[in-house]
Amino acid sequence: MKRSTFSILLLVFIVATATAGASERADIIHDGHIHYNQDIWSALPARDALQLLRRAGIQRALVSATPTEGAERLYRENPDLVIPMLRPYKSIRHRYLWFKDPTLKPYLLAQLARVPYRGFGEFHVYGEDAGNRPVREMIALARERKLALHPHANLEAMKIILAQAQDITVIWAHGGFDVPAVTLRELFQQYPKLYIELSYREGMLQDGELTARWKDFLLEYPQRFLLGMDTYKASRWADLPGLADEARNWLAQLPDDVAEDIARNNLDRLFPR
């Protein structure tokens, strides 16, 4: 059996056995990186996906999808929980082409009219491609519509984006993965509207414990970080309650006010109801 098929079957089982009658947890968190992509729609209908989020104690979430209809499905089902984000991908294949697509701006304008999107992302772009005209036009549109940006980018691309978007909220997906904390600190100092979303962030934890360097970093900038689970595939949805509990474990290693900022308050400040 293929791994993807197994993950979807596991997801169906979890939803069937675990979400019925589940109530929202008291130790709520907000999530800065949820995907609801087409490959799991049949296994996880919108209502069940939202139930699984609530079971994980996730009260609000940035949601994007390929195609973007997935974010719209969840938003229409529960606009209080879902903060819709618009991916600039017309299809899965377009993920590798969007930053060169001369018709991107009309597409984005058409999609923005469908639901009240709050930003563009999560979008993948690397290196000099971040300076291409379609990307520049998307950033200008974000400025015009007061939308956030949620890039998945390497350091070179992020510097190009930040130089163009100094007055725009920019949430760096995964905090650059392995970009050193010292570099992130320098970017925080230079760009006050830069935030870091922490899914898959390397170097934060060792055996479930915050490393000293990252604990100091979180304490220094408590209002610049967001949690993220990144449900980019079926198995991540299946693991969602466990992933949320792992986040709660390291949040518990921080002072309460810092933990509350990262768990909930920062997202609420960026995306007020």
- Give the pLDDT of residue 21: 47
DSSP the chain: --HHHHHHHHHHHHHHHHSTT----SS-EEEEEEE--GGGTTTS-HHHHHHHHHHTTEEEEEEE-SSTHHHHHHHHH-TTTEEE-B-S-SSTGGGGTGGG-TTHHHHHHHHHTTS---EEEEEEE-GGGGGSHHHHHHHHHHHHHT-EEEEEE-HHHHHHHHHH-TTS-EEEGGGGTT--HHHHHHHHHH-TTEEEE-TT-TTSEETTEE-HHHHHHHHH-TTSEE------SHHHHHTHHHHHHHHHHHHTTS-HHHHHIIIIIHHHHHS--
- Give the pLDDT of residue 7: 58
- Structural domains of the chain, ranges and CATH numbers in brackets: 3-20+30-270 (3.20.20.140)
Q: Whole-model pTM above 0.85?
A: yes
Q: What is the pLDDT of residues 173-217, one digit of tens each?
A: 999 999 999 999 999 999 999 999 999 999 999 999 999 999 999
Which ranges of the chain have pLDDT less than 70?
Answer: 1-26
Phi, psi of 29 (to 5 degrees): -135, 165
